[in-house]
Amino acid sequence: MSPEQVTGQEHTPAGDVFALAGVLAFAAAGRGPFGTGQAADLLYRVRYAEPDLADVPPPLLPLLIRCLSKDPAQRPTTAQLAAGLHDGHGEFADHLPDLLLADSAPRATESGSTSPTDSPHRRGPPGTRPPAPRPSLAADS
């Protein structure tokens, strides 16, 4: 939920950008940007606290910081967010870090979803896993 929704304002695409950034931060860091706890505590932090992005890979930080701005006018549009996450070539999963794919593939399989590593657009035979995770995503930049 975006800060503006917490205060009862209208939900706009900027709120979706904020929410997606929370999911991306969780996927990248393994925890939410506003911590854990009771719903009221989380809503307070969403509205008033800065997000904790300490474990987010450095290449994602500038984009996520903009997306998690308290001011919806300061967030990128959905088109700008998509452009920041994908260069327009190939399938989206082709651009995800191997470390993220390796971590998400077992969960996707367990949930009955098609694993991004099973995409026909990934290199290698169907059903193969990506290469072993690299120690740091920052080395990819």
Residue 85 and residue 77 in contact, taking contact as beta carbons nearer than 8 Å: no
Task: Look up residue 122 and give its two tokens.
Answer: 């990934």
pLDDT at 62 over 80: yes
pLDDT at 141 over 50: no
Which CATH class for the 3-85 domain? mainly alpha
Provide CB contacts within 8 A for 102, sequence distance 6+.
117, 129, 130, 132, 133
pLDDT at 135 over 90: no
| pLDDT tens per residue, range 82-125 | 888 877 777 766 766 676 667 666 766 666 655 454 444 444 54
Residue 109 and residue 101 in contact, taking contact as beta carbons nearer than 8 Å: no
pLDDT at 1 over 80: yes
Task: Look up residue 52 and give its two tokens.
Answer: 């904790």
In the chain, what are the domain boundaries?
Answer: 3-85, 92-140
The whole-number pLDDT of residue 113 equals 54
Instruction: Return the biggest CA–CA distance within the chain.
Output: 50
| pLDDT tens per residue, range 21-54 | 999 999 899 999 999 999 999 999 999 999 999 9
